[in-house]
Structure 1
Amino acid sequence: MKLSLRVRTIIPIALTIVIFGLFAVGSISWFARDNLLDGAQKDLELIVHEKSREIGRLFDTSQKLAKTLSQNSFLISYLENDEEIIYQDEHILEHFEQGNIGGQYSAIYVMGVDGVTYVSTDEAFVGNNYGFRPYFKGAVQGESVVSVARGVTSGKLGYYFSHPVYSQDDIIGVVVAKLNPDLVQDYISFGELGDGFHVMFTDQYGVVVYSDISERLFRSVGALDKDVITFIKDERTYEGVEIRPLQYDDVQDVIRAGSGVATIWIYDEMDAKDELLVVDYVEGYPFYLIVEQDVETFVRPIN
């Protein structure tokens, strides 16, 4: 059957309209997806940055507590009389317990310049020598130190805030406040954002000290340098734990370079997903907050 001239004219026009229509729909969808991803990235960057600031304020409070406790006149007199040190002196213990408002600290203790613990709110620490810890080594040299470690006595993770105790210009001891990690985890929680989000909190080397995925704990986000692995072992930071790398080498590079803040788009081969990772450092402290989001959660509304 022969088609009329009119029909033969209409068919190419109709096909052209359909083709251009599909192209237009595809273009609009692509631009919508691009704009959605850009907006979602900026929103996530702001959220992560604010979370980092909140953690920083918590750490500020802990650092100030260690300093305040170290300046107590009874404590200074106690350490000055180093030939008659009384372990678990009740006056010093009361001073520390009063400082532990709300039980936020799993232990508050004082060490002599030899690293031995004299008084502690956790009695298991008394008499132990923690002179190998970075928080002691730095404080006994006059620094105010913040570090994270897995306790060799308790076996539990803690954030340690130390400050030297001075008698005139001489350092005569070190005060340490061990912050309960549950408090930090409360600040890091991203549960209100819904599905598709995962979080990691790392030390200065990229070792995960908190994650909503428990299998990531005490793993590095990417491959660590050999000298870093040796240093961590020598310092007994995570004693009894083998630190194995995750697949986020790009994030590890950011931490290794000390870049501070970064946004990284990756294809996660292990999860078989496109992902957005936002990395932000806790200003003034040796920690990084990393939030990972499945890109599918961005584009689902326009699919």
Structure 2
Amino acid sequence: MADDRVSRRDMFGRLGLSRIRERFDAEMPDALAAQAREAAKRPSEPAWAAWDVPPPEDSERFTRAAAEALVEACGVKADERVLDWGCGQGEVALAAARRGAQVTAVDFAAGPLERAWDLAEEEHLEVEWLEQDGLDLLLGNSWFDRSLSGFGVIWSSDVPAAVRELFRVTRPGGTVGFTTWSTRGFLGEVLRVVREHDLLPAGSSPAAWGWDEGLRQDFAPYAATIGVETRDLELRLEDDDALWDLVAQSAAPAARGLAELPAEDRERVEGEIRALVHDSGVVTARFLEVVAEVPAV
């Protein structure tokens, strides 16, 4: 994909944005293009480093299955323009690219983007990877047919702004779809524990979209129709390492907050989370799959 002399950070930043500029030239105003050039010069925010963690195999298997289900539910087809917002290691982007879609994937953390790049190269899939702020996307209005997010938008520091951006860049009659943890599943319970101990960063509220009615209320101003499906996937946690790997991958900011606690407090919170795991080691990862249609003009 790139000359060996060009760094991957360059590809995600300066060169990645220039390639997008070429593709979106007719759609992107000069002022927006200037913002894109400036954004390419900015380093990653240190606060975003919470997501720069290697993907545990068990949770990777789960998120891959959830991504495939989301892409199927949103009806992604070959040659459609698809956005993966908060792409992480690229499960949704890769699932869409396997269907022949023209995929752009955006995330603010360089580490997951590099892993996503590797996975795309292994499968010989073409994806535009961009390192930028999802709350202020440097992309044109109504460009994408489908704008998706696999457990990404729920961690935004400003969820309403993230929702506005997803709908802004999606064409009339297009689809916005994402997955979010249910408050009733295992990871919803984990989030309840960490929230009770104030371990989530300011502005982050993933539980707000963990129930059907809350989702419908938040999306009503933007969507013509909203569909919410509950899905379950079972995971077997063989040991403590598997448990903490799952938490780190699925709720990295919470895992980071847990790690920063004094030892005694950390042990107490870890004990509460361990108590959520059945003796068999099997947990049910319940999540909501949301598909919203953008109003036609």
Return the TM-score normalized by structure 1. 0.26
Which is higher, the Rg of structure 1 or of structure 2? Answer: 1
Return the TM-score normalized by structure 2. 0.27
